[in-house]
Structure 1
Amino acid sequence: MNEANHETNHAANPAASHDSRNALHPIVLRVNGEKRPAIVESRTTLADCLRNELGLTGTHLGCEHGVCGACTVLVDGHSARSCLMLARQAERYELRTVEALEEQGRLNILQQAFHDLHGLQCGFCTPGILMTLTELLREQPDADEAAVRDALSGHLCRCTGYQNIVAAAMEALRRQRGQSA
């Protein structure tokens, strides 16, 4: 095809022309205490950027509609669905993913409670749940079971009845306060 025909075909077919919405953009995200550069399309979600560009695969994608909570990360300390946020929007925030929860190579209080009380089954939704509960433990150190259940209401786990998840969260709260069960 010669250049003249190529130009004509693009004019006749707008979908074939360059779409600036899909242009590539260099960004720098502050993730888990580090500045991490990436090059993303305008439409790239934070979840896709974390997983595909930065290799942080602990953030899982379930519904991609903000319903299941599997993709939850902390954005300036508050839980947010990373499938609903564009990567470019996240540049101005401090991001924390499940990979940052361990402390000096060891499970943190919440992770250890989940381990000890079997607060998971298949584990797919667990990273998002851990991130939401991380916010709860920080913001409401005296939370009761109703507050834990309320925090978990935005998460969909098809494997459990949430009993062990709630028990693990309550145990983490007790441990955080220095109390024994």
Structure 2
Amino acid sequence: MTVLARDALHPVRLHLNGSARSAQVQPRMLLSDFLRHALGATGTHVGCEHGVCGACTVRIDGVAQRACMTLALQVDGRRVDTVEGLADAQGLLNDLQTAFKRHHALQCGFCTAGILMSCADWLGRVSQPSEDEVREMLSGHLCRCTGYTPIVAAVLEVARARQTAKEATHA
């Protein structure tokens, strides 16, 4: 096991939303702070800093994880996707973001980035979720504005549309 000097800076190299990025960090720097302050990915919000609210959720190597519970050093050499990476290079929103907009599944927007990242990961694994399954997945996020109903509607709409598109290509 390597012992790191507490105040020494260490390089972290990663692929952030498809682009190679790097910065120097102290060993105790959290991924959420690294993304926001060192790399400028401010879409990752910091809420509770205890892994409870879900606002800081990002995908690490494709899997949704809390950035406030992950050290920046832990993502060295890995792929990290944030909400900024969901839209295409021209800024066109993806299907999930568009459904959130259509269903008014965001109000203040603070929790939205984390919820979108969890939903993007989850919908990649669960193609035909029930309403109860969507609500269970969302139970790891705190939203004080929407009451979750429009979020659930948006996720179910995207799941149905993706399933219909999949069936059409296999027909």
TM-score (norm 1): 0.85
Instruction: Tell me the secondary structure at the aligned position of residue 79 of structure 1.
Output: strand
Instruction: Tell me the secondary structure at the aligned position of residue 148 of structure 1.
Output: helix
Indicate the percent of aligned positions where both proteins have the same amino acid. 53
Question: Which one-letter code corresponds to 1:173 in the other structure?
Answer: A
For 1:1-37, what per-residue CA distance to the aligned partner results, in whole angstroms no more than 9, with x for missing partners?
xxxxxxxxxxxxxxxxxx9312111211221111101
Choose the corresponding residue for 1:42, options 19, 24, 27: 27
Instruction: Tell me the secondary structure at the aligned position of residue 138 of structure 1.
Output: helix
- In structure 2, what is the Cα distance between the partners aligned to 1:132 and 1:52? 22
- In structure 2, what is the Cα distance between the partners aligned to 1:92 and 1:35? 10
Per the alignment, residue 18 of structure 2 pairs with: 33
- In structure 2, what is the Cα distance between the partners aligned to 1:95 and 1:27? 12
Choose the corresponding residue for 1:107, options 93, 110, 113: 93
Per the alignment, residue 82 of structure 2 pairs with: 97
Shift of 1:94: 1.4
Equivalent pair of 1:30/1:91 in contact (CA under 8 Å): no
Equivalent pair of 1:60/1:127 in contact (CA under 8 Å): yes
**Structure 2: which 5+ residue stretches go unaligned?**
166-171
Shift of 1:102: 0.7
Per the alignment, residue 3 of structure 1 pairs with: none
Which runs of 4 or more aligned residues in structure 1 lie more than 4 Å from their structure 2 counterparts after TM superposition? none
Equivalent pair of 1:76/1:95 in contact (CA under 8 Å): yes
Per the alignment, residue 158 of structure 2 pairs with: 172
Whether 1:58 aligns to 2:30 is no
Question: Which one-letter code corresponds to 1:111 in the other structure?
Answer: Q
Aligned Cα root-mean-square deviation (Å): 1.4
Whether 1:133 aligns to 2:119 is yes
Whether 1:85 aligns to 2:57 is no
Instruction: Tell me the secondary structure at the aligned position of residue 95 of structure 1.
Output: strand
Q: What is the aligned length?
A: 161
Question: Which one-letter code corresponds to 1:29 in the other structure?
Answer: L
**Structure 1: which 5+ residue stretches go unaligned?**
1-18
- In structure 1, what is the Cα distance between the partners aligned to 2:163 and 2:5? 52
Per the alignment, residue 168 of structure 2 pairs with: none
Greater RCO (CA < 8 Å, at least 6 residues apart): 2
Per the alignment, residue 169 of structure 2 pairs with: none
